[in-house]
A and B are shown apart, each in its own frame.
Chain A
Amino acid sequence: MKKMMALTLMLFSFTSFAKEINVKVSGMVCSMCAQGIQKKFSAISEVKSLDVNLDKKIVNIFTHDDKDLEDATITKLITEAGYNVASIERK
């Protein structure tokens, strides 16, 4: 029984909920930069919403429940928009 519970708990911990990913972007200096980045991420089905903070140069990505975005995908989208990824942080 204990084993079962432990297993269930483990399974639960593997189930992913919506994620918040904070991406620090370099080269982002105006709202047109922000808009381009927003456009690239809005086209991705995993992405629920997006917040761009020009002050901190951070793009906050919120994914749909059970969805994640790989670092490689994030880097690719930021690069295609014309900018560079400085760091990726997951919450």
Chain B
Amino acid sequence: MKILSIFLFIVSAGAYAHPVIYQGGWALSSSNMPDYSNNYLMYSPSNRYSVGIDHWRFSQEAANTEAALLKINHLLWRDNGENHQANIYLHGGGGVVDQEWGSPGTHGMYMLGLEADWETRRLYTAIKHYEFHAPGKLDMFTTQARVGFSPYEADFKSLQTWFMLQGMIIDEVQEKVMITPMVRFFYNNVLWEMGSSTRGDWMLNLMVHL
């Protein structure tokens, strides 16, 4: 909890592939590491909301805890500057969790989240915090913070490359903050990321806006 506060203090907030996108748009995202994965499909009926399905897997050695949720994301605040963009998002969802540790079994659960980001064409910072609760059975959270830079400004329809550093905590799964340097490639509506954590865990993420 202390580490979390420090993280929140150091970096302010989010994700370049945003959970709420243009009206009528779909966002598909898949984030994968050995200890966790998150996949979602969201539809934005307005530029302020998106709804969709969300799946999480957390792994502790051979045991998995998996959550499947119906989710709503709200763009609470956006600042469109001349050279930057900043966002704050709220997340909420309900569904089921299949737990293989703690209180094993399938339980009803809900999740809450807060996400914020600030970015220009060359700099990127983001923080996300999600909490998962199945009353009396499960209480866990994950927090991610990112900073990144792009060595050049790519125009629309050309490839943009980013170097990023992600710090991530998954409560109950890891004891330390997992630090993952990564490269992000960005082409039109497709974004993919590859990285390897300082302890050697691979990371592979893919996001598409349709």
Select one of A27, A28, A32, A79 contacting B209, CB under 8 A. Answer: A32
Contacts A26-B81, A81-B47 known; A34 to B156 CB distance under 8 Å?
A: yes
Interface check A74, CB cutoff 8 A? no
Q: Which chain B positions have C-beta within 8 A of A28?
A: 80, 85
Interface check A31, CB cutoff 8 A? yes
Q: Which one of A9-17, A47-55, A65-73 contacts B?
A: A47-55
Q: Which one of B19-27, B55-63, B92-100 contacts A?
A: B19-27
In the complex, residue of chain A having the shortest beta-carbon distance to the beta carbon of B22: A36
Q: Which chain B positions have C-beta within 8 A of A79?
A: 47
Most B C-beta atoms less than 10 A away, residue of A33, A55, A79, A86: A33
Contact between B80 and A83 (Cβ–Cβ < 8 Å)?
yes
* Partner-A contacts on B (CB < 8 A): 16-18, 20-25, 46-47, 75, 78-85, 119-121, 153-158, 160, 186-189, 191, 209
* Partner-B contacts on A (CB < 8 A): 26-37, 39-40, 52-55, 57, 79-84, 86
What are the 3 closest A-B residue pairs judged by CB atoms, nearest first? A27-B80, A36-B22, A34-B156
Q: List 18 A-B contacts (CB under 8 A).
A: A27-B78, A29-B119, A29-B121, A30-B160, A31-B154, A31-B157, A31-B188, A32-B17, A32-B188, A32-B189, A35-B156, A37-B22, A39-B24, A40-B24, A53-B156, A54-B154, A80-B46, A81-B22
